[in-house]
Amino acid sequence: MNKATKSLWSFIKLLIKRWVLLLIFYGSLIGAIFTFGIFNIEVPSYVFWILALVGLFWASYRVYRNLSIDYLELQKSSGVLLDVKPELSITLLEGNEYKYSLSKRATYREKVGYDYLTPDASIELHFRILNKGTVDLDIISIEASYEDHDIPWQFDPPDKPKVKGNELSFPMHLNVDDILLCDISNDIKASIVLNDAQFAARLVEINKSSTCTTGEVIVEARDSTGEIHKFPLVFDVVLKPLMDLYINRWQEKKQTNLLRLARSESIIKKEITPKRSTTVKK
């Protein structure tokens, strides 16, 4: 007898033990005898089939319920979680999803010969991690990345994530239903292949179309069985607030040419009136 046959036979024996099934079966039989033999009343045969199916369904449910209870008791007594369902919910903090800032330290562009007019920037992401699964998890990595194709910036790999201003050390144990509030920052550099004028000119399209780029947070965690899982969060990031930081910097430095390029303003030429020549009569 193979494993499947043994399981089926065990299930049938458990069904037979259910008193509800026997009660309905014998009740249907007795009802049929009394109906036909004593009262001479014709009852459709499907009525007894329905009663038998109801009994079978109810008995199956009772078997399932008892097995579930035994299963939970086994988990509690052994101390081992048999139903491992790891799940992390990652969400941005509503109303405080991310924040841009310009760097005050020396920029990479300065080191390679460009001036300070186009400084480095950074984006700080604020998000919540909730352990909504059935098992505790050890968080072993948190990464944030951004698409930087066809935009005049490049995003560096992230700094170490922080919790309440302090760097998060790994592994970070997260019990079921625990919540972790995290911040993670990525440095942003103006593309090194562009000079300041080229960079400013490429901000025009961002200003017109409110261009977005795609960001992704990946949390890597290990469950109690040793298996490693990755939980992603994909989101959009609007670039116009970042552009506005550069506009404000150029306004402070009175860089009218860069402002004109970024705003797509035309050059206003002053009309030159030629001076009249005067002749001196002798």
Question: Which tens digits make up the pLDDT trace of 20-31?
Answer: 555 555 566 566
What one-character DSSP code corresponds to residue 152? S
The string of pLDDT tens digits covering residues 1-13 is 566 676 666 766 6
| pLDDT single digits (tens) 108-140 | 555 544 455 678 899 999 999 999 998 899 999
pLDDT at 205: 81
Contact 186, 153 (CB under 8 A): no
Mean pLDDT over all residues of the chain?
Answer: 79
Long-range contacts of 192-198 (CB under 8 A, 24+ apart): 192/108, 192/109, 192/112, 192/154, 194/152, 195/114, 196/114, 196/115, 196/117, 196/118, 196/258, 197/257, 197/258, 197/261, 198/152
* pLDDT for residue 78 is more than 70: no
Residues 6 or more apart whose CB falls under 8 angstroms from that of 168 comprise 142, 160, 161, 162, 182
41 or 153, which is more confident? 153
Architecture in CATH for domain 88-263: Sandwich (2.60)
Q: In the chain, list all ranges with CATH 2.60.40.
A: 88-263
Amino acid identity of residue 230, one-letter, is: K
Q: What is the rounded radius of gyration, in angstroms, for the C-alpha atoms of the chain?
A: 37
Q: What was the pLDDT predicted at 32? A: 59
Q: What is the pLDDT of residue 52?
A: 67
Rounded mean pLDDT, 146-174: 93
Whether pLDDT at 148 is above 70: yes
Residue 196, pLDDT score: 87
16 has pLDDT over 90? no
pLDDT at 54: 72
Q: What is the DSSP string of 107-134?
A: PHHHHTT--TTS--EEEEEEEEEEE-SS
**pLDDT value at 77 more than 90:** no
In this structure, the number of other CB atoms found within 10 A of the CB of residue 108 comes to 15
Question: Integer distance in angstroms from the first to the last C-alpha of the chain?
Answer: 136
H-only helix segments in 122-181: none
Q: Mapping DSSP to helix (H, G, I), strand (E, B) and coil, where does residue 186 land? A: strand
Q: Identify the band that residue 270 occupies on the pLDDT scale cut at 50, 70 and 90.
A: very low
Question: What pTM does this model have?
Answer: 0.63
